[in-house]
Structure formats: C-alpha cells, structure tokens
Structure 1
Amino acid sequence: MGGFTDGFAEANGQRIAFSLGGSGPPLLLLHGFPQTRALWWRVAPVLADRFTVVTADLRGYGGSSKPEGAEHYTFREMGNDMFGLMSGLGFDRFHLAGHDRGARTGYRMALDDEARLMSLTLMDIVSTDHLLDPLHRNVATAYYHWFFLAQPKPFPETLILADPDYFFESCLLGWGGARLSDFAVDQLAAYREAWRDPDTVGAMCDDYRATLKHDFAMDRDEAGRTLTLPAHVLYGADGAMARAYDVPATWRGRLCEMDARALPGGHFFIDTAPEATAEALLGLLS
C-alpha cells in the first residue's frame, strides 16, 4: 500500500502485523472474516490525507500470530491486542472503524475501555447477542458458517482445507451484492494467500468457537449498557444484515450518539465500493 510502512509489534503477548501511514488524528482500521488488513488497501490512502491510519491483522489472521485454542480468540483478547498495538505506537486515544469481526472487536473494546476511543464505527454487524438470541432462520441460513466453523476440531478444518478457495470465496459471494469480479485482483490474491495457510484456517475456526463459548455470554451480560462516545453504523444496503434487520434500530439504546448510513453493495461493501466507503468515513469522522 503506497505511502504506508509495514511492521510487526509485540502486543498482549502476540505478534501483530500492521501498516502505518498518513498524518493527523490516529485511526485504527480492523478487518473481518475471512480477510486481512488488505481489505483497506483502497480506502486507507484516502483517509491518510487527514488521519494517521493504522491497519492491523487481527490475531489468527494474515501476518499476526496464531495461538491454538478458542480461549485465545475472544473479542476481549483481540481488543487487548489492539489497545497494546496503539499504545506501543504512541496513541493513547484513537478513532476506530471495524468491519465484521473487526467491528465486534471494536465494540468489545468500547465496552471495556470506552475512554480510549475518540469514536467507534461499526460496519455491517448487529451485536453478537442480538444475532444469536433470538436466531432467525434466514440469518442462520445466510450465516451458517458461524456454526460450521465452531464445530470441534478438526472437522471444519479438514473440510475447508480440501479446497480453501472454494469455501472462502463462497463466503465472499454468499452475503449479498457481490461477484468475484467485484474484488480487486491484488486484494483477492492477498486473501487467498492467507486463507490457504492451515494455521490460519484453524485460527479462524477458533475465532468462531470463541464466539459461541465466550463472547455471546459477555455481550449478553452487558446488553443493557449504553455507550456515550460518538458512534457510527455503516451497512451494506443489499447485504444479509440489511435484509434480516433494521440495522440502525438494533443499535439504538446501545449507542447514545449514533449516525447510521447504508452504503451500496452487500456485506463486503468496503471491497466493492471503496470510494463510497472512504467518502462516508471522511464525512463521519470529520
């Protein structure tokens, strides 16, 4: 990514891969499943004109370390990685924008230490507890991977590694509004390189195992809390979440000061509409 420096940082006992560029207030961008920080390649340079942008691979993904065991993949542990990364870079407070698993990590970070976040932008999610309980059958059909990946090792890993491109590309195309040709060639190549690694596949399964074993209960126990920081909700107009929920309504009561916007495309609107995503973020964060 032009104008950005790649590096590794020791944070919370993990080795976290990151990229850093730009100038201005610090902004952390977090990707989701089944991607890496390459998600931001066409968005981060635009934001870097007005922000010091940090993109990072969540633990288990991309170039970051991959401990074994679901207990290592709670959103709290992932969030502590990111707090450690930003502290190590000299940023005590920062803006945070996350997509998918990155958004869930960001929400947990706000619940755990709201004062450190200047703002929070959640992209194409409803809260974990709201999605799982009650679980609508159309959501279970679209997001079946939550339950497949959470099955005991090595069942999902064995099936996925028989043809990882087939499985993960079906995920990219299965949640609304995307064709494979909508993804930039270089970004798709980066995703494929990452998800062909058996350790990454195992880590992603542990990520989803942790959601059912640990994260659901943590989020349910704090469902009554209202965060008061400036918050933004972006979602794909044609995605599975928008078809199943009134996405902004699911966050009312949890986010006090909230601006919500639908963007063109499905779940992966950052890949398929990077210009619109960058424009929306600049408008919201400014």
Structure 2
Amino acid sequence: MSAPQTFNTNSQTIAYEVTGTGPPLLLLHGFPQTRAMWRPMVPGLAEQFTVVSADLRGYGDSTKPTSVQDMSFRLMGADMVNLMTALGHPHFHLAGHDRGARTAHRIALDHPNAVDSLTVMDIVPTEYLLSNMTTRIAQAYYHWLFLAQPYPFPETLIGHDPDAYFERCLLGFGKASLDQFDPHLLTLYRTAWRRPDTIRAMCHDYRAALEIDWGDDAADLDRRVTCPTLVLYGQDGAMARLLDVPARWADRVSNLTSKPMPGGHFFPDQVPTETQGALLEFLKSL
C-alpha cells in the first residue's frame, strides 16, 4: 500500500488517499479489509469525482483503539465527517461496503446535511439484523457473535493463524474463491490483519456493535435517511439468500434504489468493474 496521508481527529489518526477532481465521493471499506479494496475502481471514479478512500479507525493504517467504546459506528462516522470537512468538503457522496456501509448509514443519520447521497453494499440495517438474529442468520454470520466474545478469547484463537481465519471470512459470507481476489490486494489485507492490534480492534468493532451500535440504531428507528440511497447486494451471498435486502431498507430511507450484483458478499472485490459501473450509474442519475 502506498504511503497514505493522515488526519488527526478525535484522538485518532486516520489514513486516507485522495484522487481525481469533481464532486467529493468518500469510500469506506469493510471487514476484514482496508481502503485498498477500492483501488481497482478509483481510476474510473476519479474521472468524474474527487475520490477519498480512508481506513476506518481500527483498520489498515489508521489508529487502533484499545477500548470497545472507541469502536462505535458513531465515532467512526464522526472521524470521516471531520476528515471530509478538513479537506474542504462539508458535504459529499458516500459509499461503503460491510462495516463501512454501517458507518455510512450512521453518518447519514447523524450528519444528514453532510451526505448528498448514500450507497450501502451488502448489508441490512444493524438494528434489524441483531433484533432478528434467527438461527440461520446466526449460522451464516456467526462471526458477529464470535468476535464479540470477551477479550482475549477470539484474539487468541485468531492470532494462531490470522490468514486461515480471515481468508475463511472472505470465502464464507457468500459464493467466492480466493482466485477472485486481486493477489496484490490480498497481500495488503494479510499484512494488515496479521497485526495483533488490528485483530483486537476488529473484535472491538463487533463488540461495539452489540454493546453500543444496536442501542444507537434502536433509538433512531423513527428516523429515515433522507438523501438518495442506493442499496447494492450480492445476489449469491448469504444476506440475499436469507433476507429480502431491499425490503429491509424500505422503511429506513426515503428515496431508495436497489440492485443485485453478481457474486457474494465481497462482490466489490469479485466484480469491481460492475460495482464501479453501478455506483457511477446511480451518481449520474442524481
């Protein structure tokens, strides 16, 4: 990964990259990845947008908080709003995958005037998922419960072979094979997730989901995201098999567009060209 720029906010250091010119577009990665996941798409997006890709706190080259309280989506989101404001973008388009999508949803709720459009990739709202955790959902998304176990139990088990665990995550949330992931990006992901402080922070992310984010979202059930919203989801992934993804967003946003994508949960890695195209099509329509 190239040397990132850094921004200090909320006692955290956020690593980010900026490419292109035009309206600002912030891209947020998910678990267990880094901002590098967007690199195949950035050149095409940067022809029309100022693209900012950033590592969430706890991930990649950003600071690794040592407390669960510091890994909430609300605080992750505040980091990014502060970053974009410092870059001269008080409002911006916003797209995220997985944990980045959950952070983006929280940004759209907490900072509605900052978000011109929202794109979430392969998630349903956090509150819905946790409040409706059926046996089948728990089986497919067992990592939510495993990673949330008290420190240092999951960290110890993962630390014995991080590649084995996190590669299983890449393959286990939908139909995928390792050869569908760019080899260079896989190397970057492995470098990041092998760090003990990254493993701890990612576990804290999932602990915070149960201990903090669930309550934050439950308190906001009467609020809707008001900006235009695109929901992309892997047509072969566990989320699509278990849930009607667009329907789960229908009462959470005011202006909804949805589209199934080829592949599973990690369709941005599996089909980056198609993902870039779907995002550009949506943004051009606004």
Q: Distance in 2 between matches of 1:236 and 1:50?
A: 25
What is the CA-CA distance between 1:56 and the residue it aligns to? 0.2
- What is the CA deviation profile of residues 163-221 of structure 1, one whole-angstrom value per residue up to 9, with x for unaligned ones? 00000000000011200110000000000000000000000000100000000011112
> Are residue 62 (structure 1) and residue 60 (structure 2) matched?
yes
What is the CA-CA distance between 1:244 and the residue it aligns to? 0.7
Q: Distance in 2 between matches of 1:97 and 1:49?
A: 17
| 8 Å CA contact 1:5, 1:20 repeated in 2 | no
What is the CA-CA distance between 1:5 and the residue it aligns to? 8.1
What is the CA-CA distance between 1:253 and the residue it aligns to? 1.4
Letter in 1 for 2:155: E
What is the CA-CA distance between 1:224 and the residue it aligns to? 2.4
Structure 2 residue aligned with 1:112: 110
Q: Distance in 2 between matches of 1:123 and 1:255?
A: 15
> Are residue 42 (structure 1) and residue 40 (structure 2) matched?
yes
Q: Distance in 1 between matches of 2:257 and 2:112?
A: 18
- In the superposition, the TM-score normalised over structure 2's length comes to 0.98
Name the SS of the counterpart of 2:111 in structure 1: helix
Name the SS of the counterpart of 1:122 in structure 2: strand
What is the CA-CA distance between 1:137 and the residue it aligns to? 1.2
| 8 Å CA contact 1:5, 1:21 repeated in 2 | no
Letter in 2 for 1:20: V
Structure 2 counterpart of 1:275, from 273, 276, 280: 273
Any unmatched runs of 5+ in structure 2?
Answer: none
Structure 2 residue aligned with 1:53: 51
Letter in 1 for 2:152: P
Structure 2 residue aligned with 1:259: 257
User: 1:239-258 maps to which residues of 2 (within 5 A)?
Assistant: 239-258=237-256
Q: Distance in 1 between matches of 2:234 and 2:262?
A: 6
| 8 Å CA contact 2:109, 2:224 repeated in 1 | no
Equivalent residue pairs, number: 284
Structure 2 counterpart of 1:199, from 179, 191, 197: 197
Letter in 1 for 2:233: Y
- What is the CA deviation profile of residues 102-137 of structure 1, one whole-angstrom value per residue up to 9, with x for unaligned ones? 000000011101111010001100011110112111
Structure 2 residue aligned with 1:28: 26
Name the SS of the counterpart of 1:55 in structure 2: strand
- What is the CA deviation profile of residues 235-261 of structure 1, one whole-angstrom value per residue up to 9, with x for unaligned ones? 000011100111000000111111100
Name the SS of the counterpart of 1:233 in structure 2: strand
- In the superposition, the TM-score normalised over structure 1's length comes to 0.98
